[in-house]
Amino acid sequence: MLNFNSIATWLQNEAYTGNKPLAELQLQQTKARILLTIASLTYVILHGDYFTYYKVEALSFAALYFILNAAALISLRKRPFALIGSLFYPLLDVLIVTFGMLIDGGHSSGVYFMLLPIIIGNGLRFGNPMLIYAQASCLIGMLCSTAYGHYTLQLPIDYTLLYWQIFTLLAVPFYAYLIVKKVEKAIYEKNAAEQSSFQLIDRGPLPVFTFELDAKRAPQILYANEAMVQLFQNAQADILDQPADRLVLPEDSDEMIKFCRSAFRDEADGSVQQPSTTYLRGMDASGRIIKLMATAIRMRWQERWIGVCFLLDITERETLQEQMEAVHRQGYMSTLVAGIVHDFRNVLTNMIGNAEVVQMNCSDPVEKQQIESIIEAGERGSDLITHLLKLSRNSERNQSHNRTQGSALLQPLENIIGLARLQLPHNIRLVSRIEDELPDVEIEIIEIEQILLNLINNAMQAISDSGLIEVNIGSEDNQQADQKQLCITVSDNGEGISEENIDRVFKPFWTSRADQGGSGLGLTMVQRIVKLHQGKIDISSPAGEQQTTVRICIPSYMTENKVVIAQTVVTPPTVKQPEETTSQRILLVDDMPDILKVHNAIVTRLGHDAEAVESVDSALTLFTDPSSHFDLIITDFRMPGKDGLELVQEIRKRDPKIPILMVTAFGEDEQLQQAGSYGVTLMNKPITIERMKAGIAKAVAGELT
């Protein structure tokens, strides 16, 4: 039994609708057949040989044809034709055209050409099944009309013309058939591509939604992928068909609407537009505020323009950036304050020391009193900057040094190196090697990132033309502490560092690129972080070689309890005066020549014999000289290159008992605690005669507290 429903479904599925409703195409076909019939009827009335004989029949048939098509126009505004209607109207078209051929003289009539639009129109609008159906109907109709005219009206047959007409009805529609097949294939591939693209979007990790503008030009969400549901923690049904501005905070609603409209700013223009990007604030179902970067573009979908918006949750990235900036600001300010305090204390030491020397040699009571006022003002200045240093250090003391697992370092290190690579000029290449297994360390990830960014930035500035920066991060054995350590090495083939500057690079505010905006605090901050975590930093830049290497080693995390050694700071005696100390042979070490002169004058005034040097290496050379003998070492703490703590460590290897007095303008508690463990007496700058006298007495007596 013939299943008409299956045939109807098959015909409808085969129809090429171009994403338009079937009823709309049938409506177009009905309007076209009415216009063609009017043209054919006019031609027959003016040209038909037998119109006079068939006038009544022709006009009656035409009237019935127009009534049926008028009814079709009304019906198609509500619903498309059923199977019977789809098959009936092409037959009706064939009947009226072949009847027109009959009364116009037979198959040789020009009305014959109206058969071709019937075939091609049905094929292009409704697919190849309807093309073949219309083609068969036209062939049968034309042959029946020709036979009826020949045997009934004795109309002649031009067989050559008839064969040509049959061939035309077969060939031209066949050509149209091929065109339709290509169109169908193109449409299929287009639909498949659109479907595939949306499947990729639907399964992609990036939140995406599509939208269109309603009558009031307000964006309405058409589609949202699974990532959107996960981002906003809403069911998909709660997002679809909703205004797009509901995804953001009410405060950003107007901005969201304006942003979505911008994707349709040139809706009439079919050219490709550049995507629009903005930053908005949203809220998920739990009430959490999320920061979003939105990018929107329009695209053609099913014969209409729609907007596609890609969202990127940058909440964590922004939070990390804020933390990094906060750490950078704090490190910058701490380094800045410490540098100012160091330099200012040296100035005060110079000023107070020279004032005391002048006061000793002055006999005028009035002048002595005036000099004493200068000394008191200098000491008040010292108290002020000490308070300033304490304020800058309080925030650092409040920060606990948590354990950072080595496995947690890998991805952040890759990310920060990748970020640094993006900021490099195009002519500089950055390569990195990070070992898979790194030790656990007692340093924050953000601090390591700060170290890397500063070192890579310095390496970049050292390269004037094209060059290479190499970053190696791995684990090495620390022979002295019998533990692993995290080592970071950054090398570049830039211009290098001169021998006279190699010991000055860590000095606060010193920079070789002042004309390029250098602050002279980058490497100082790096050294500060490294020393804060008991690490080591070394720089090598061999003369004549375009190769500068900065190597940093951070000790691994120690599980055992740390021994905290109290810092000893010698303060001026208030009640009990120190006992007189016998004359000592003293080795003075300080990188500031003016400070050395003041200290030399003070210890000489106190009756001691002193020899002064300006570097750790010079001090070690002098100390290890067999012809030299010293009873006491007085050294500065912070010096370019090797510092006072490294000098103490080397001296203790050779002489565990010699008294050492360490003078500092920094007061960096974390590192000075290590000095206390070596039996060192500590004293803050500025130095007066009384403080130097008390400090020497305590150092010689071995008093650490």
Distance of alpha carbon 136 from alpha carbon 170, whole angstroms: 9
pLDDT, residue 398, reads: 47
pLDDT, residue 489, reads: 94
Question: What's the rounded mean pLDDT across residues 685-700?
Answer: 85
- The three state secondary structure string of 2-61 is CCHHHHHHHHHHHCCCCCCCHHHHHHHHHHHHHHHHHHHHHHHHHHCCCCCCCHHHHHHH
Rounded to the nearest angstrom, the gap between the alpha carbon of residue 296 and the centroid of all alpha carbons in its chain is 17
Q: What's the farthest any 2 CA atoms get from each other in the chain? A: 157
Q: Which tokens belong to 70?
A: 């008028």
pLDDT tens across 308-340, in order?
898 888 876 666 566 656 655 555 566 566 666
Candidate ranges 196-205, 327-336, 475-484, 664-673; pick with highest mean pLDDT = 475-484
Rounded to the nearest angstrom, the gap between the alpha carbon of residue 169 and the centroid of all alpha carbons in its chain is 64
Element (H, E) at 443: none
For residues 127 and 180, the answer to whether their CB atoms sit within 8 Å is yes
pLDDT tens across 502-536, in order?
766 776 655 655 555 455 556 777 877 887 777 88
pLDDT, residue 666, reads: 61
Strand-strand pairing, 548-555 and 609-613: unpaired
User: In the predicted model, is pLDDT for residue 134 greater than 90?
Assistant: no
Strand-strand pairing, 632-636 and 585-589: parallel
pLDDT tens across 216-247, in order?
889 999 888 888 888 887 777 788 888 998 88
What order of strands is seen across the sheet that includes strand 585-589?
609-613, 585-589, 632-636, 660-664, 680-684
Q: Which tokens belong to 677?
A: 């463990």
pLDDT tens across 253-303, in order?
888 998 898 888 765 555 556 788 888 888 877 788 888 889 998 887 767
Q: Which tokens belong to 500?
A: 């006279």
For residues 146 and 109, the answer to whether their CB atoms sit within 8 Å is no
3-class DSSP state for residue 534? coil
- Confidence bin at 355 (pLDDT 50/70/90): confident
One-letter amino acid of 107: H
pLDDT tens across 440-496, in order?
888 888 788 888 888 888 888 888 888 899 999 998 887 666 778 899 999 998 888
User: In the predicted model, is pLDDT for residue 637 greater than 50?
Assistant: yes
Q: Sign of the C-alpha dihedral, residues 15, 21, 26, 31?
A: negative
**Burial status of residue 273 (CB atoms within 10 A of its CB: 0-12, 13-18, 19 or more):** middle
- Confidence bin at 9 (pLDDT 50/70/90): low
Distance of alpha carbon 55 from alpha carbon 47, whole angstroms: 13
Instruction: Indicate the pTM of the whole model.
Output: 0.45
Distance of alpha carbon 412 from alpha carbon 455, whole angstroms: 16
pLDDT tens across 567-604, in order?
334 333 333 444 556 788 999 998 888 888 888 888 88
pLDDT, residue 37, reads: 81
Distance of alpha carbon 615 from alpha carbon 644, whole angstroms: 9
Eight-class DSSP state of 352: H
One-letter amino acid of 336: L
Distance of alpha carbon 51 from alpha carbon 44, whole angstroms: 7
pLDDT, residue 219, reads: 92
Distance of alpha carbon 59 from alpha carbon 124, whole angstroms: 30
Question: What's the rounded mean pLDDT across residues 105-125?
Answer: 81
Q: Which tokens belong to 402?
A: 């948590």
Element (H, E) at 189: helix 159-203
